[in-house]
Amino acid sequence: RLEGNSSEEAPPATQNFIIPKKEIHTVPDMGKWKRSQAYADYIGFILTLNEGVKGKKLTFEYRVSEAIEKLVALLNTLDRWIDETPPVDQPSRFGNKAYRTWYAKLDEEAENLVATVVPTHLAAAVPEVAVYLKESVGNSTRIDYGTGHEAAFAAFLCCLCKIGVLRVDDQIAITVFLLFATFPFPVMRKLQKTYRMEPAGSQGVWGLDDFQFLPFIWGSSQLIDHPYLEPRHFVDEKAVNENHKDYMFLECILFITEMKTGPFAEHSNQLWNISAVPSWSKVNQGLIRMYKAECLEKFPVIQHFKFGSLLPIHPVTSG
């Protein structure tokens, strides 16, 4: 469970922070990941946020701390850099090379950006935390983006919790409302659209979405026990148009229908099947299981994950 780390005092300044590195090199290494403290803390973070937004609209009033405001400013900077780095003319339609220019700027400035969020007494943590920010925006060689990059952004926020920058009372604002719903989500989408990024490891119509997964989990939690919106309604254009500003799940559906053409059942088969599930709590439970199976337990996704002192590869320690 994450709460202990995020609600109590920050870790002692004597902690040895390290630059995170890859530890999953072969398929048998996946066992190390599933038994690791990193896995336990990461999934604990995802589930804590899932619980925090249950039944709450995006317009729900929540506390915005100074740390959250600084994170928003950081993301605004990334957004501004996209505007300052327009796509270049090139023969291939996908993978615009201007993305590499944008990424090079982030690579150079990541530690400075993270230092604006982290208090000076925790400055030693900055190089470790900054790695997750750099990993979260896509791959500059392949110019692609997928659920592994999304996981790196969640890991970035998880690390900020573990060093005490974000706290339990930031929970609702942390990812779900202010960050995932309002900022990185649009920033990542803007990257994907501006530079025509390829989906990383896309399963085509058999995947949930080409790029994201977590907003569907948290979005379905928001809708649990909704008085009238049921899973069957998210394939109804009118219901989506009327409610997408309040619910992340419907916002995701709207984006898909804007990006893809043809019958929904054909371009988004998995989501179409989910619309037949009788309740949002069952959808939510099913998506958590699917996330573990299709993202966290898949070697092509997790081979890129990096481990340091905050998300360590060593086996779970009790207590």
Tell me how far apart the alpha carbons of residues 165 and 114 are, in angstroms, rounded to a whole number.
11
Tell me how far apart the alpha carbons of residues 233 and 250 are, in angstroms, rounded to a whole number.
9
Q: What is the pLDDT of residue 4?
A: 39
Residue 15 lies in a domain: no
Q: What is the pLDDT of residue 183?
A: 61
Q: Give 67's Cβ-side CA count (13 Å radius).
A: 19
pTM of the model: 0.91
Pairing of strands 198-199, 144-145: parallel
Q: What is the pLDDT of residue 203?
A: 54
Domain count within the chain: 1
Tell me how far apart the alpha carbons of residues 111 and 130 are, in angstroms, rounded to a whole number.
5
Residue 3 lies in a domain: no
Q: What is the pLDDT of residue 218?
A: 92
Residue 11 lies in a domain: no
For residue 274, the one-letter residue type is I
| CATH assignment at residue 52 | 1.20.120.1150
Q: What is the pLDDT of residue 130?
A: 98
Pairing of strands 306-307, 198-199: unpaired
Tell me how far apart the alpha carbons of residues 268 and 252 are, in angstroms, rounded to a whole number.
12
Domain extent for 115: 21-307
Tell me how far apart the alpha carbons of residues 123 and 117 are, in angstroms, rounded to a whole number.
10
Q: What is the pLDDT of residue 178?
A: 65
For the chain of 319 residues, list the mean pLDDT of each consecutive stretch of 10.
Answer: 41 78 97 97 94 87 84 92 97 94 98 97 97 96 92 94 87 67 77 90 58 90 96 95 93 86 88 95 97 92 96 86
Residue 312 lies in a domain: no
In terms of DSSP H, where are the helices of 195-277?
A: 214-222, 237-243, 248-259, 264-267, 269-274
> Residue 252 corresponds to which tokens in the numbers above?
């995701």
- Rounded to 5 degrees, φ, ψ at 208 are -75, -45
Tell me how far apart the alpha carbons of residues 287 and 22 are, in angstroms, rounded to a whole number.
27
